[in-house]
Amino acid sequence: MHVWNFIAIAAALASWSCEKSEETKKSKSGRPVQINPNEDSEKIVHVDVDTTQNEPRVEIGKVPEGGQLSCELNGEILKSCENGMKIDRPKDGDYQLIVRVKKDDQILSYGEARFRIGSSTSTNEIGFVDDRKDPLYVAIDDAPFINGSAVSVDADLLVKLKFPNDPKCQASLRCRIDTVNSSFTPLCANNTFQVKREMLAFGLQYGVVQAQCGEKFGPKLVLYWYGVPKGYENLQLAATKVGGESKIVKLIKANDCPEDLLQFECASSATGTFSRCSNVIAKGSVTTRVRATCAQANGPELNINNRG
């Protein structure tokens, strides 16, 4: 069975509070606010395309509750987008299917699959026969930055880019932060992907870079990072008030620990011993400190105001 499976990039976009927190106040001055639709929003959305049938069948994995699906095939928005749908058999060639999950003009998650119809080895505008061999292939040229990095929202994000292959032309770069209404800007300045700090949001964000030579476009490079506060430490927690009664503590950077290894520990005094606990801290609880643990590693302590 020829099934092209590609793990998508999750866009699990989370806000720090349901009430008027300090970050919400910042949002009024222009900072993007990420939303947290449900616990499943931090899962990866998988998109698979089964090409063994006459009409390719699309399988879309777990979708955040309440999200609206939008599908784009080689840059063209499809009229329908749903799990199990079939695509009218396209011409032979190479294709990219992008699936976005949207809610209230925010992107909750993102997935993509690349597949081939027929035996064609030619490249189209997207050109995915072998990205790394494409003359217009773009790569990260910045040792401190890797995909999934923690990025402080208090400073501009600058990621250096390079052309590993010879484009044999005066190539330019187009960049964007992938949101519902985003579009490519004409150039990435000086072969650098740049995001002003005012546009950085807490939680997972991602951007797209693509090289252009005349009317020819190279493969898209997807960048993703986690916006974190200044002074962030590995396994650091943040608390969100829910319903005015309880607080939920969660990792600031969701990929700091695999879900099956993540645990929480609480203490009832400044010097008390930590013991296993839930990440839901009830109003009036004796808990005053909480930390995350991952295997043998302990995160920094978070002080909890258990009076509300």
Residue whose tokens read 């976005």: 100
DSSP 199: G
Q: Strand order in 237-242's β-sheet?
A: 237-242, 246-251, 280-281
Please tell me the distance from the alpha carbon of residue 189 to that of residue 175, in angstroms, as a whole number: 9
pLDDT at 212 over 50: yes
H or E segment to which residue 193 belongs: strand 192-195
Nearest to residue 138, comparing CAs of 121, 159, 158, 122? 159
Mind listing the pLDDT tens digit for each residue in 221-271? 888 888 999 999 999 999 888 766 788 899 999 888 888 899 999 999 888
Nearest to residue 238, comparing CAs of 165, 153, 173? 153
Query: Three-class SS of residue 127?
Result: coil
Predicted confidence at residue 133, as pLDDT, reads: 83
Query: Three-class SS of residue 89?
Result: coil
Please provide the average confidence, as pLDDT, over all residues in the chain.
Answer: 77
Rounded mean pLDDT, 175-184: 67
H or E segment to which residue 208 belongs: strand 203-213
Are the C-beta atoms of residues 181 and 220 closer than 8 Å to each other?
Answer: no
Give the pairing of strands 280-281 and 93-103: unpaired
Instruction: Give CA torsion, residues 191, 211, 175, 8, to 10 deg.
Output: -120
Tokens of 303: 């002080």
Rounded mean pLDDT, 184-209: 83
Read off the pLDDT band of 11 (50, 70, 90): very low
Predicted confidence at residue 130, as pLDDT, reads: 57
Read off the pLDDT band of 143 (50, 70, 90): confident
Predicted confidence at residue 160, as pLDDT, reads: 94
Please tell me the distance from the alpha carbon of residue 110 to that of residue 124, in angstroms, as a whole number: 23
Burial class (CB in 10 A: 0-12, 13-18, 19+), 61: middle
Instruction: Give CA torsion, residues 136, 151, 113, 72, to 10 deg.
Output: -80
Give the total residue count for the chain.
308
Are the C-beta atoms of residues 220 and 208 closer than 8 Å to each other?
Answer: yes
Q: What is the pTM of this model?
A: 0.60
Please tell me the distance from the alpha carbon of residue 307 to that of residue 245, in angstroms, as a whole number: 9
Predicted confidence at residue 5, as pLDDT, reads: 36
Predicted confidence at residue 99, as pLDDT, reads: 87
In this structure, how many other beta carbons lie within 10 angstroms of the beta carbon of residue 67?
21
Predicted confidence at residue 244, as pLDDT, reads: 64
H or E segment to which residue 25 belongs: helix 22-27
Please tell me the distance from the alpha carbon of residue 276 to that of residue 268, in angstroms, as a whole number: 12
Contacts of 221 (CB under 8 A, 6+ apart): 138, 139, 140, 161, 208, 209, 210
